[in-house]
Amino acid sequence: MSLDLKAYVVDVPDFPKPGIVFKDITPVIQSAEAFNFVIDELAAWAGPKKPGLIAGIESRGFLFAAGLARALRLGLTVIRKKGKLPRASISVLAPNEYAVESFEMHVDSFPAGERVLIIDDLIATGSSSISAIGLVERLKGEVAGFGAVVELSSLGGVASIRKSHPEVDVRTLVRF
């Protein structure tokens, strides 16, 4: 089945600050057809990679990561913004198009050598994605792939990820 996901992504001008056109994926998750299409497409790509765990990036990435983990019958771990995790964690700088933040993961998120597939909602410049990959690697995980629903191709994020981590397969479902 094919579905025009672009029809479900709404442009919100000047959010979160003037000059930014925010890609709102809320309609994707509100539509059973669109949401299930996304999860099915990600599962078809991810399954053969044999991940042992799915990692979702805060916050909208959690939505798709949880659906994918359920579809593949896997566990889920989270990559959160600094200060949100209650137990021992490690952090990495995670610059994005709006600010420089930090991502964290619990130090016991997965055992060393685990194949972790990272999911986010959107790839813009790729900086947050590269930071998330680095975080999984610092915990001695093997990154099985990086998937996202939306790619803002004009910002070159996928190319940046591939340059920084050529061993990581990157998959997006719709490009703007």
Whether residue 109 is contained in a domain is answered as yes
Domain enclosing residue 76, as ranges: 38-175
> What is d(CA 164, CA 135) in angstroms, rounded to the nearest whole number?
14
Q: For the purposes of burial, counting CB atoms within 10 Å of the CB of 106, is it exposed (0-12), middle (13-18) or buried (19 or more)?
A: middle
Q: How far apart are CA 130 and CA 77, in angstroms?
A: 17
Task: Output the domain CATH number for residue 167.
Answer: 3.40.50.2020
Number of domains in the chain: 1
Cβ burial, residue 47 (10 Å; 0-12/13-18/19+): middle
Q: What is the pLDDT along the chain (176 residues), one digit of tens a residue?
A: 789 999 999 999 999 889 989 999 999 999 999 999 999 999 999 999 999 999 999 999 999 999 999 999 999 999 999 999 999 999 998 877 677 789 999 999 999 999 999 999 999 999 999 999 999 999 999 999 999 999 999 999 999 999 999 999 999 999 99
**Domain assignment of residue 23, yes or no:** no
pLDDT of residue 146: 98
Q: Tell me if 5 is assigned to some domain.
A: no
**Integer Cα distance of 103 and 84 in angstroms:** 9
> Exposure pattern of 28-42 as b/e (b: 16+ CB <10 Å)?
bbebeebbebbbebb
For residue 151, count CB atoms less than 10 angstroms from its CB and return exposed for 0-12, middle for 13-18, buried for 19 or more: buried
**Tokens standing for 91?**
């952090």
**Confidence at residue 133, expressed as pLDDT on a 0 to 100 scale:** 98
Helix (H) or strand (E) segment spanning residue 55? strand 53-57
71 alpha carbon, distance to own chain's centre: 16
